[in-house]
Chains A and B, each alone.
Chain A
Amino acid sequence: MLVLEDITQKNRSARIADWYEKVFPKVGAYIKRQGGSLEEAKELFQEALVIYFEKISGGNFQPDKSDDAYLFGMVKHLWFKHLQTQQQWDDLDPTDTREELTAELRVEKLVLLLKQSGQRCLELLQSFYYERLSMQKVSERFGYKSERSATVQKYKCLEKLRAEVKDKSLNYEDFLD
């Protein structure tokens, strides 16, 4: 069973490659049987891996199955969701404003804009909030002298990006174009 300490110590790419070799053939066969394509199998497996990493980095996740079984089960779940989404798009009223989709697009656009102006802060913040590394690991990765320095820098970055998120959200009329 994979735990957070393993994933932070071992090479993440090597772990991903292992899962592809072990689980993807089974995923491919399942998606093929369901009438899906190789591209769909790839996309769903990518998404399943992302979700799995997010779960294990949360720290509270205790899967009752092996990694392989969990990933395969996740792909099956995502396949059903994928079919439902396709059906919703087919039934979509073109006048529907789709607030959820707009919010997603806004966040994606903000990422694009902030990559240009605040890449280092994005890197630092994602290592703490997304990868959920400890402050000690964050300070090692970014070369700070102490956890305290890294913590102060984290809040400075948050302050900087919060100002940019506000500025870019309010000042770009063509924000979602």
Chain B
Amino acid sequence: MRTSLIEIAEIESWVLQQGDPADRLVTEGRLLLNPALREQAAWQTQTYAVVREYGRQKLKEEIKAVENQLFTSAKHRRFQERIRSIFSF
């Protein structure tokens, strides 16, 4: 793996608290001494948040598609009637 990717992997272990604790301590020291590396770590942390949000949105879309099917398809009429009876009064 090229150097920049190895550095990304190193930041990842530190951000996600994975791998050898001794290696993470070394990374911690490098981050304290290297503002550019610190900045990369901050952007990488933000990137994980974006990936997580994307995953959430995808899952929610899948859930909504299933829900829509249950609430509109004729083959789920019994379910629809049951829910309608709950909210009808």
Contact = CB atoms under 8 A, between A and B. Distances in A.
A147 interface: no
B56 A130 contact: yes
Instruction: State which size class the interface on A falls in.
Output: 35 or more
A126 B55 contact: yes
Nearest to A169: B46
Given A42-B67, A122-B54, A158-B12, A50 B59 contact: yes
A166 interface: yes
B8 A165 contact: no
A25 B82 contact: yes
B4 to A, nearest CB: 6
Contacts of B60: 46, 50
A47 B43 CA distance: 27
B47 A162 contact: yes
A29 B86 contact: yes
**Chain A interface main SS type:** helix
Interface in A147-171: 152, 155-156, 158-159, 161-162, 165-166, 169
A13 B87 contact: no
A110 interface: yes
A20 B70 contact: yes
A70 interface: no
Given A49-B63, A129-B48, A162-B43, 6 more contacts: A12-B62, A16-B62, A25-B82, A129-B52, A155-B5, A159-B8
12 contacts: A16-B62, A20-B67, A24-B83, A29-B86, A37-B87, A54-B56, A111-B53, A111-B57, A125-B51, A131-B55, A155-B8, A165-B50
Interface of B: 1, 4-5, 8-9, 12, 40, 43-44, 46-60, 62-67, 69-70, 79, 82-83, 86-87
